[in-house]
């Protein structure tokens, strides 16, 4: 009914609006109260785009570009802007671009039919993107039948999207349009291009990077790539292409055609070969007594350390796996974060001096009694675990701070061999939607923590931001100091984890703050056909998360 009023709760106030008012209009009224741009809105704890209209009484919360969901919306919207600008400059055939990975607050992109760009071309591309941003062109959304979407992407030459949606269970697909340029994106978008003014472009690798803001949402972050990380990503991508599995659609093709047993066996064999080669490298050094393994949460550090130990044993060495968790301070002595919660991510949570005393004694050939940490009581315990290093003995130490020399400051550099391990993405969703490494690790952790710590998916999601903060501060800055970077990602793992993770995610209460993230992850997992876990070997890194491992993990 024309003129009908509805009540909207916003910023602690209740206001009346005409039914059908765009959330974009409401956001404009409140933008002056926010430092960062409002880009999305949460309506009764459901994420929504600003072009949507208010149809009933509701409570709304604004999502800015400083928020996780808002930052992602900004990045995918800017990606669409970049694609459209390329199309304007080159036409459809030569403008084909692939968004391959996220590196240092930037998306790494390569062009298919144009070749390697130069500085002059990037300057033209940036100018065209800025022109479109100034024009505030609407980003429109429409819903089409899934079969129609398959035909559309086939006609547009987007073969990976065409393949992706052949396995789509939902009967409808959301298509975004920018000045008649159409594409699909995994997630929500900005209302118009006027939001997308803060970006830059820089040549890198065989393509370029599209750079975004970080904490300062109105300033492009400096591009500081890790060479070893980029090389590891490239190696993983090439392996996926060799196997004919480099996107979710091609993975689903392999599952549907019965190729998964072969792919699982080949990838596990390749990983074992790499671990064996790594053991050979360590053994050939002769003077390394401490193998320091570090990596972000849910990288499979524990299983990796055991598998590496087996390979070292096969070479005649005597490895002793050790977890840095055993050197946690007693819980009453542990530091707290800015919110007053126990901070287990910072290096100050460990008894660094005791660790150094023990390791120095072992290096001198003396005996040392090593502790064990009891997570139930929150205290370090000594149970007579004596160790003395002799000829051929080596300690395999895993923990998030393993690469930080502050942890092992009394140990000579030449006594340490450093390994950075992470589960790096080997496949992407499609041409323009990369698969975030962090999503894979979060799903690993949700499954593992539910099994080993009786932690709900809601609880794991709630602490994930704190975990990620700790990684940014205490792990990633040290990754390039590693002697070797090891990728523990498995090309098929999300298809296996799907059956374990979905029930846990469905259990998240719809009124909980974590519901939006749970819903996003469920949508993400819906892309994958399932793979049963029976074919997964007992020594696989994946067993650390789903259970049934040959190791005590």
pLDDT at 384: 93
pLDDT at 241: 84
The mean pLDDT of 234-256, rounded to a whole number, is 90
E-strand ranges in 389-443 read 393-398, 416-422
CA distance 246 to 237: 7
The mean pLDDT of 20-30, rounded to a whole number, is 95
CA distance 41 to 11: 12
Which percentage of the chain shows pLDDT scores above 70? 100
Contacts of 288 (CB under 8 A, 6+ apart): 282, 394, 414, 415, 416, 417
pLDDT tens-digit series, residues 110-149: 998 888 999 999 999 999 999 999 999 999 999 999 999 9
The mean pLDDT of 347-355, rounded to a whole number, is 95
Residue 487 in this model has a pLDDT that exceeds 90: yes
Per-residue buried b or exposed e for 517-538, using 16+ beta carbons within 10 Å of the residue's own CB: bbbbbeebbebbbebebeebbe
Beta bridge partners of 374: 379
Instruction: Report residue 420's pLDDT band, with 50, 70 and 90 as the boundaries.
Output: very high
Residue 20: exposure state from Cβ atoms within 10 A (0-12, 13-18, ≥19): exposed
Alpha helices in 96-247 (DSSP H): 119-134, 146-155, 159-165, 227-242
Helix, strand, or coil (residue 172): strand
pLDDT at 243: 84
Helices (H) and strands (E) counted in the chain, each on its own, are 15, 19
C-alpha distance from residue 100 to each of 156, 244, 355, 386 (Å)? 19, 16, 41, 48
Instruction: Report residue 171's pLDDT band, with 50, 70 and 90 as the boundaries.
Output: confident
Contacts of 214 (CB under 8 A, 6+ apart): 105, 221
Name the pTM for this structure: 0.90
Half-sphere exposure for 293 (CA within 13 Å, toward CB): 30
CA distance 82 to 321: 48
Higher pLDDT, 536 or 336: 536
Contacts of 142 (CB under 8 A, 6+ apart): 174, 175, 177
Please, what is the average pLDDT of the chain?
A: 93
Alpha helices in 95-216 (DSSP H): 119-134, 146-155, 159-165
Contacts of 292 (CB under 8 A, 6+ apart): 397, 402, 403, 408, 416, 417, 418, 419
Closest by CA to 109, choosing from 79, 139, 132, is: 79
The mean pLDDT of 429-439, rounded to a whole number, is 91
pLDDT at 237: 84
Closest by CA to 283, choosing from 318, 321, 317, is: 317
Higher pLDDT, 12 or 448: 448
Helix, strand, or coil (residue 328): strand
Q: How many other C-beta atoms are found inside a 10 Å radius of the C-beta of residue 18?
A: 13
C-alpha distance from residue 159 to each of 98, 163, 247 (Å)? 12, 6, 11
**Taken in order 448, 451, 455, 459, is the CA torsion positive or negative?**
positive
Angle between helices 515-525 and 437-452 (to 10 degrees): 110
Poorest-pLDDT segment among 299-313, 326-340, 522-536: 326-340
Asked if residue 60 lies in contact with residue 10, where contact means CB atoms within 8 angstroms, the answer is yes
pLDDT at 2: 61
Q: How many other C-beta atoms are found inside a 10 Å radius of the C-beta of residue 265?
A: 12
Beta bridge partners of 40: 49, 63
CA distance 91 to 278: 47
CA distance 383 to 396: 20
Alpha helices in 413-538 (DSSP H): 437-452, 457-474, 493-506, 515-525
């Amino acid at each position: 009914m024309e003129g009908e009023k509805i009540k909207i709760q916003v910023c602690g106030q209740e206001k009346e609006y005409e039914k059908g008012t765009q959330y974009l209009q409401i956001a404009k009224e409140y933008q002056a109260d926010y430092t960062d741009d409002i880009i999305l809105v949460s309506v009764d704890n459901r994420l929504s785009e600003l072009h949507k209209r208010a149809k009933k009484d509701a409570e709304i919360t604004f999502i800015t570009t400083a928020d996780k969901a808002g930052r992602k919306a900004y990045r995918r919207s800017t990606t669409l802007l970049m694609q459209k600008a390329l199309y304007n400059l080159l036409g459809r055939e030569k403008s084909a671009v692939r968004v391959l990975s996220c590196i240092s607050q930037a998306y790494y992109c390569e062009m298919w039919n144009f070749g390697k760009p130069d500085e002059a071309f990037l300057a033209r591309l940036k100018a065209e993107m800025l022109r479109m941003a100034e024009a505030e062109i609407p980003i429109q959304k429409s819903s089409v039948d899934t079969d129609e979407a398959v035909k559309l992407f086939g006609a547009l030459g987007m073969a990976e999207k065409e393949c992706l949606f052949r396995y789509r269970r939902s009967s409808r697909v959301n298509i975004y349009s920018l000045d008649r340029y159409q594409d699909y994106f995994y997630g929500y978008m900005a209302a118009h291009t006027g939001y997308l003014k803060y970006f830059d472009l820089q040549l890198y690798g065989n393509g370029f990077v599209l750079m975004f803001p970080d904490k300062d949402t109105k300033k492009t972050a400096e591009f500081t790539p890790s060479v070893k990380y980029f090389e590891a990503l490239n190696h993983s991508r090439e392996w996926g292409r060799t196997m004919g599995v480099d996107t979710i659609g091609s993975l689903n093709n392999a599952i549907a055609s019965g190729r998964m047993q072969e792919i699982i066996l080949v990838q596990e064999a390749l990983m074992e070969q790499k671990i064996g080669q790594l053991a050979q490298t360590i053994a050939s050094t002769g003077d390394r007594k401490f193998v320091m393994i570090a990596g972000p949460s849910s990288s499979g550090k524990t299983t990796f350390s055991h598998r590496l130990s087996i390979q070292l044993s096969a070479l005649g060495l005597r490895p002793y796996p050790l977890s840095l968790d055993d050197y946690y301070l007693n819980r009453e002595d542990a530091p707290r974060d800015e919110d007053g919660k126990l901070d287990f991510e910072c290096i100050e949570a460990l008894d660094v001096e005791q660790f150094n005393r023990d390791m120095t004694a072992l290096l001198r050939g003396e005996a040392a009694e090593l502790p064990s940490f009891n997570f139930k009581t929150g205290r370090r315990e000594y149970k007579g675990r004596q160790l003395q290093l002799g000829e051929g003995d080596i300690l395999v130490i895993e923990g998030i701070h393993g690469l930080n020399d502050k942890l092992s400051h009394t140990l000579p550099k030449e006594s340490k061999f450093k390994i950075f391990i992470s589960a790096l993405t080997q496949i992407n969703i499609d041409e323009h939607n990369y698969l975030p490494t962090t999503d894979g690790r979060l799903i690993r952790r949700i499954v593992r923590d539910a099994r080993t710590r009786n932690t709900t998916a809601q609880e794991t999601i709630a602490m994930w931001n704190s975990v990620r903060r700790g990684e940014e501060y205490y792990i990633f800055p040290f990754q390039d100091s590693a002697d070797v970077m090891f990728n523990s990602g498995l090309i098929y793992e999300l298809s296996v984890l799907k059956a374990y993770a979905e029930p846990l995610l469905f259990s998240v209460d719809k009124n909980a703050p974590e519901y939006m993230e749970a819903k996003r992850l469920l949508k993400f997992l819906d892309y994958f056909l399932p793979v049963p876990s029976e074919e997964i070997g007992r020594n696989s890194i994946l067993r650390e998360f789903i259970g049934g491992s040959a190791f005590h993990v």
